[in-house]
Structures are given as structure tokens and as C-alpha cells.
């Protein structure tokens, strides 16, 4: 079976055999989590970074009054906290949304990479820069789009990210996320997300049966969400030297 991290990094340019071996090596310590388990606790200090091999996870922050905001979704191939390598303390925690398989990569290994593998360092850095670009786009959607737009945008983004790691089929994909969880990502209430999803379904833009989501009218949904996939930098190459 292919390694999701290697697949993801090779989007941006070929890796040498040695580099692949290193990646294979540092991701050999694997743990599994149940749905809703906390993978990285809010406010904890990490000595390793976690990589999703299978399943969905979400990074989130809590307000003192109990409100919750999801700041990022993580799919296979994503580091959930590569930044903990340099940042150490996690202001936001990561929870498993579905059952997850996760590799724990020791920070010491990452430090060795930065010393001896400049190209790997740059690609890993690249992935964190793409994360930041995704964050900025979320800021845009939260700040300036209404509920319909946000939901549409999200469904498009998720499609393209999953497609990049081969987890879509005919514009459809598994989305085992509750409407409550979605609402915590969109900055809305569960009730309102529900109404919006019904609207989109009613207009024939999407079909959803709880677990599987199908985008019936990609063109229109894209327009509805002001969606432009450039910010994901999928398959963007970087130079080796």
C-alpha cells in the first residue's frame, strides 16, 4: 500500500529513494484512535508531530464560554501539527472525527531532516505554507461570505483535497462529519447548517445521505462558494536545488 505522506509530497516533485526511505522510517510508529478521541490535547506540549494515515481529524479551539471553532480539517497525508516541531505548545487541540490511524514522528527526527535533507525540509515547509494559505482562505470565507457561500466553498475544497489523495469517486466522497461539527467549522449553528444543506440538496446541487456526499452540479456549486482551488497549490512543483 502506498504511503499517503510520500504521495502527498511527490505532488510537488520527485523524491529520491533515500528521501522516501527516511520518510518511511520516521513514520513507522503508528497508533489508532477512536472517533471523537483527542489526538493532541489543547494546550499540550509535544515531542513529536502527528501524521494522519487514515481517517479524518479536526483541529479546534475553545472559548471560555464553551464555544468551539474548528480551525482545520486533516485528511490522510496531512500532518496535524507539523508546527509543533518548532512551536512546541499547541494552542489548539486535534480530535479524531472518525476512527484514525496516526503516525507519531519524533521532533528529533525532524530536526535531523532540517540538518541533512534541505530539499525535504523545503517540501515539508511548503506543506505548512499551504496550510497557512488554506487558513487565509477560511478567514475570507468566515469574514465575507454568508452561510450558503461558506458551505458551498467548503464542499468544493474538501472535494479537491480528497481528490488529490485519491479519496473521491465521480465528484462524490465520504463525509462522515456531523452537521454540528460542520457548524463549528463554518462559524454557524447546527440548525442553520442543516437548513443550508437542505437548500443545496433541494436545488439539486448536491446529494447527501449522511455518509456520502455527491456534488451534482460542480460548476454551480463552485460559483456559489466563490471557489477557486489555486490556494490549495495542488501539484505545484518546487525546485530541487
Instruction: Tell me the per-residue interface mask from 67 to 106 with a copy of itself, x by CB under 8 A, - otherwise.
Output: xxx-xx----------x--xxxx-xx--------------
144: Cβ–Cβ under 8 A, 6 or more apart, which residues? Answer: none
Which among DNA, a copy of itself, none contacts residue 191 (Cβ within 5 to 8 A by kind)? DNA
Q: Is 160 in the site for a copy of itself (CB under 8 A)?
A: no
Compare residues 1 and 63 and give the one whose CB is closer to a copy of itself. Answer: 63
Which among a copy of itself, DNA, none contacts residue 115 (Cβ within 5 to 8 A by kind)? a copy of itself
Stretch that binds DNA, among 21-29, 113-121, 140-148, 220-228 (CB under 7 A): 140-148
Q: Is 125 in the site for a copy of itself (CB under 8 A)?
A: yes
Stretch that binds a copy of itself, among 13-21, 108-116, 166-174, 198-206 (CB under 8 A): 108-116
Q: Which residues form the interface with DNA (CB under 7 A)?
A: 146-148, 178-180, 187-192, 194-195, 197-198, 210
Amino acid at each position: 500500500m502506498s504511503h499517503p505522506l510520500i504521495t502527498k509530497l511527490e505532488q510537488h516533485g520527485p523524491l529520491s529513494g533515500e528521501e522516501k526511505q527516511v520518510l518511511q522510517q520516521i513514520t513507522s510508529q503508528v497508533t489508532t484512535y477512536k472517533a471523537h478521541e483527542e489526538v493532541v490535547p489543547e494546550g499540550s506540549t509535544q515531542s513529536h508531530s502527528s501524521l494522519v494515515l487514515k481517517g479524518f481529524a479536526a483541529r479546534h479551539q475553545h472559548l471560555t464560554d464553551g464555544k468551539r471553532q474548528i480551525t482545520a480539517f486533516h485528511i490522510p497525508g496531512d500532518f496535524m501539527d507539523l508546527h509543533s516541531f518548532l512551536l512546541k505548545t499547541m494552542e489548539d487541540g486535534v480530535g479524531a472525527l472518525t476512527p484514525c490511524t496516526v503516525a507519531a514522528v519524533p521532533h528529533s527526527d525532524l530536526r535531523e531532516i532540517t540538518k541533512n535533507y534541505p530539499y525535504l525540509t523545503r517540501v515539508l515547509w511548503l506543506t505548512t505554507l499551504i496550510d497557512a494559505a488554506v487558513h487565509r482562505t477560511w478567514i475570507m470565507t468566515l469574514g465575507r461570505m454568508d452561510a450558503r457561500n461558506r458551505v458551498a466553498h467548503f464542499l468544493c475544497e474538501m472535494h479537491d483535497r480528497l481528490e488529490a489523495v485519491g479519496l473521491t469517486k465521480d465528484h462524490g466522497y465520504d463525509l462522515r462529519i456531523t452537521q454540528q461539527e460542520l457548524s463549528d467549522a463554518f462559524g454557524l449553528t447546527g440548525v442553520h447548517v442543516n437548513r443550508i444543506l437542505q437548500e443545496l440538496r433541494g436545488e439539486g446541487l448536491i446529494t447527501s445521505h449522511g455518509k456520502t456526499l455527491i456534488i451534482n452540479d460542480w460548476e454551480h456549486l463552485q460559483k456559489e462558494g466563490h471557489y477557486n482551488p489555486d490556494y490549495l497549490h495542488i501539484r505545484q512543483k518546487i525546485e530541487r536545488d
